[in-house]
Amino acid sequence: MKILVIGDPHGYQKYKTSVLKSADLILITGDIGKADLARKQAFTNIERKKQGLPEIEYTKKQIKAIYYEIYNSTINLLKKLANFAPVYLVKGNVGSTDKETKKDEKKFGIELPYLIKDINKIKNVNLIKNNVRNINGLRIGFLEYFADTCWIKEFKPNDYKKRLQEAKKDSDNARKVLKRFNDLDILLCHSPPYGVLDKVSGKFGAPKRWWGKHAGSKVILDYIKKKQPKYVFCGHMHETKGKKKIGKTEVYNVGFNGDYVLMELSENKIKRFEFYRGEW
């Protein structure tokens, strides 16, 4: 069986047809859609806060543009990929939940697209939230993105106390989820484990005070150390794609915007790997 693991696409569409045709299964590490507008606004406000300036408020027009950039690029890519093989993915940190969308509709008095609801309508596409699936003889765990408490403490975002409280709740929930993920062949998650393929640099516009910090998850790291799944595929940190081992577990930060790993399995062991773009 050939598995195509796609790193955070961020709207990237130009995968080779020959590669897509060769896949029996497609896995995606999250962040499907393009989010350039949201990213620019977020980093601008981070810098303004550092300088003691008030944050720039979103206008109705900006909110709609942000939502539709992510929505259209996500739906278009998933529909394309679903023509070639079953697609399984986890939610990353790009794109709102339908609950958050409803909240923004009320706040701004505008009509917005519901991304999660419409992803679930696409034939041959499976958005898995914190669960295990047995697929073609493989036991695969799907862990969606969450903000680990270690990230909040290290990066100190706006509304620190509130965000830390939310992160504690989300991290506790992730631990409970991972307790059910025994004997995995593959863990598919968005964030890398803490200290492994997760260091921030200035390569993609991150604020300078973030450089050198680790943006991974200690919850995921603890799980890998204890349970030792065979393979872990993640994304999130674009500047640190590559592969590392944690004990017997092979961890792959698959990258973003066109990066992928094409793996051929025989008796649940890798026979061959093909990497796209950059050095591994």
Q: What is the reported pLDDT for 280?
A: 36
H-type alpha helices, the chain: 17-22, 36-50, 60-81, 98-108, 115-119, 149-155, 160-179, 218-227
Cβ atoms 152, 219 nearer than 8 A = no
Q: What is the reported pLDDT for 151?
A: 96
Query: What CA–CA distances, in Å, run from 215 to 125, 146, 197?
Result: 29, 12, 9
pTM of the model: 0.92
The rounded distance, in Å, linking the Cα atoms of 251 and 235 is 11
Q: What is the count of structural domains for the chain?
A: 1
Give me the CATH number covering residue 189.
Answer: 3.60.21.10
HSE, CB side, 13 Å, CA atoms: give it for residue 26. 29
DSSP-assigned states of every residue in 177-243: HHHT--S-SEEEESSPBTTSS-B--STT---GGGTT-B-SBHHHHHHHHHH--SEEEE-S-GGG-EE
| H or E, element range at 143 | strand 138-143
Q: How many Cβ atoms are within 10 Å of 152's Cβ, its own excluded?
A: 21
Q: What is the reported pLDDT for 264?
A: 87
Range of the domain at 170: 2-276
**Mean pLDDT of successive 10-residue segments in the chain (280 residues)?**
94 92 96 89 75 83 94 97 98 93 95 97 98 95 97 91 96 97 96 97 84 96 97 95 95 93 77 55
Q: Which residues 6+ apart lie within 8 Å of 73 measured at CB?
A: 10, 11, 32, 33, 34
